[in-house]
Amino acid sequence: MKNQRYRIVAVGGGTGLSTLLRGLKRYDIDITAVVAVSDDGGSSGRLRTELGVLPPGDIRNCLVSLSEEESLMTKLFQYRFPKKGALSNHSFGNLFLTALSSVSGGFDKAVSNASDVLAIKGKVLPVSLDNVKLKATLINGQQVQGESRISKSKSAISRVEIYPGNAKVSKEVIDALVNADCVVMGPGSLYTSVIVNLLFNGFVSALKKTNALKVYICNIMTQVGETSDFNLTDHIKAIEKHSYPGMIDVVLVNNGKISVPIAKRYAKKCSVPVYIDKKSYNNIKILKKNFVSKTQYAHHDFAKLAETIFQLVKAR
């Protein structure tokens, strides 16, 4: 592997993926971010409903994370209009990508052109160009449609699926997965940011074909509506249920302590640290480290994550 840059594909959505990218871009590697496209809430949901575009919000955040963080264009992309009037709570970056999609002749071209504008390090790809909706079957038998509604469900999730069910992963994403040295999934909402990407036709097949090291970053805290009462094994089982047994090679899990004030704040929302149970995980390597960031939130430290992933790939 001398004189060759490692190829790392990061898969997810929400703030978790953009956090990871902020750390990875510090290394001399080839980065490809594969981003979920099922968001139907907030500014992205409004643009999707009104104009029929793919949700731009998570794409925008990934572009910003891979750009020069202090540039004027980066600040402009993250600018959010005041909560009044026709542009209420829209971000400039979302509107820019929506307009560029029309001008460029497609959402994928818009993302590519925006990447050039922001001079990002790496590549950002929507997992699919198909417009899909997410549907969940809860353990109580109830079915819930729409990502924003699923994330608010009070009953645990049994399975998620996309419709139309024949939606395909893009060829560019398949090529990135097959040729990767490492595929990283998470951190982020287990079902609506991570697992949703596995549901597109061709994604799991590409994972079976690739020789890449496959890493899952387990969330630090449980998420009400998606992973209430989930331990580490539950996270792994959910991913394997929607892909195949043995898909994951390495799991990164936090064993650092959450400060009492932060833990109490999360507990008020019924969110607690993910319990690391002592089940045997067959051939999966469980790597426990203190990944907690020094902020007021129980989030991952992007520098610690990126360093750990880089060393895993380098050692391999």
118 Rama class: left (phi>0) / alpha (psi -120 to 50) / beta:
alpha
Tokens of 232: 């580490």
SS3 215: strand
**Quick check: 61 pLDDT over 90?**
yes
pLDDT(2) > 70: no
Residue 1 lies in a domain: no
CA distance 70 to 12: 24
Which residues, in sequence order, are CB contacts of 100 under 8 Å at separation 6+? 109, 110, 113, 114
Token representation of residue 314: 């380098």
148 domain residue, yes or no: no
Structural domain includes residue 302: yes
What percent of the chain shows pLDDT beyond 90? 76
- Strand 123-126 versus strand 143-145 pairing type: unpaired
Residues 240-262, mean pLDDT to the nearest whole number? 96
Asked if residue 62 is part of any domain, the answer here is: yes
Question: Of 217, 211, 174, 209, whose CA–CA distance to 193 is shortest?
Answer: 217
Counting the structural domains of the chain, the total is 1
Taking the C-alpha atoms of residue 155 and residue 158, their distance in angstroms, rounded to an integer, is 9
Residue 91 clears pLDDT 70, i.e. is over it: yes
- Is residue 283 domain-resident? yes
Of the listed ranges 60-74, 99-113, 115-129, the least confidently predicted one is 60-74
What tokens appear for 46 in the block? 């409004």
In a domain, residue 275? The reply is yes
Q: Please report how the helices 57-65 and 107-118 are oriented relative to each other, as an axis angle in degrees rounded to 10.
A: 30
Confidence of residue 316 (pLDDT cuts 50, 70, 90): confident
Query: Strand, helix or coil at 250?
Result: strand
Run of H or E residues at 160:
strand 157-163
Domain enclosing residue 32, as ranges: 7-129+167-315
Q: And the tokens for 235?
A: 């996270």
φ, ψ at 221 (rounded to 5°): -120, 155
In angstroms, the CA 306 to CA 28 distance is 12
DSSP annotation of 169: -
Kindly state whether residue 136 falls inside one of the protein's structural domains: no
Asked whether the beta carbons of 100 and 63 are under 8 A apart, the reply is no
* 28 occurs within a structural domain: yes
**216, 20 in Cβ contact below 8 A?**
no
pLDDT in tens, 192-228: 999 999 999 999 999 999 999 999 999 999 998 889 8
CATH number for position 34? 3.40.50.10680
| pLDDT number for residue 1 | 43
